A and B are shown apart, each in its own frame.
Chain A
Amino acid sequence: SAVISQKPSRDICQRGTSLTIQCQVDSQVTMMFWYRQQPGQSLTLIATANQGSEATYESGFVIDKFPISRPNLTFSTLTVSNMSPEDSSIYLCSLRGEGTSTDTQYFGPGTRLTVL
């Protein structure tokens, strides 16, 4: 499976500021996803980011708050804008397997965000 890395691994931010999270994959993938995991909760899909098209956002998530870039097949960024303490979560980059494992999704190590 592909190796997924995220930067930063964690950050503490002040309310009202923005943070951009980077996701790098060691091979080309078509479908990438961004998830949020709030404390004690399971994973919630924020958006699907396919290269060459606009990201598709899930209900409750909007582009102004969570702008996403997907400039090529190995890289994506998620920005958390105008942060509030409610945005404190783990943010996870994910990709769907290619080739023989097209349905299996793999996850990055996550970015732990704390907003004060």
Chain B
Amino acid sequence: EDQVTQSPEALRLQEGESSSLNCSYTVSGLRGLFWYRQDPGKGPEFLFTLYSAGEEKEKERLKATLTKKESFLHITAPKPEDSATYLCAVLGGSEKLVFGKGTKLTVNP
């Protein structure tokens, strides 16, 4: 059974204080690992797809990396508008997207 574990559950940062979110996964036949951002009461917003170990993708202050067992979402010099819940999900041979419980990020000004 595919599984995704995200840590920490919640993270508080000061504006400008860089950090990383972790996503550990087990999956049969990885087809892709996905990062989403979700604001309260809204649907998840797609950020990145990673397909193979060693792959990296960047978007503004966010950088996602992938190994064979985990993915990291690095946040550089975050701003208060980066506050959201960040979701990690994997798609494997089951054809079903499996989500972690998310990391709630709060960035204080």
Contact = CB atoms under 8 A, between A and B. Distances in A.
Given A42-B87, A45-B97, A101 B43 contact: no
A43 B87 contact: yes
B46 A104 contact: yes
Interface size of A as a range = 20 to 34
A103 B32 contact: yes
A1 interface: yes
Chain B at the A interface: SS class: strand
Interface size of B as a range = 20 to 34
A106 B97 contact: no
B63 interface: no
A41 B31 CA distance: 24
A1 B36 CA distance: 15
B101 A103 contact: no
Contact of A92 (B43, B89, B100): B43
Given A1-B46, A42-B102, A103 B31 contact: yes
Given A107-B44, A109-B43, A101 B49 contact: yes
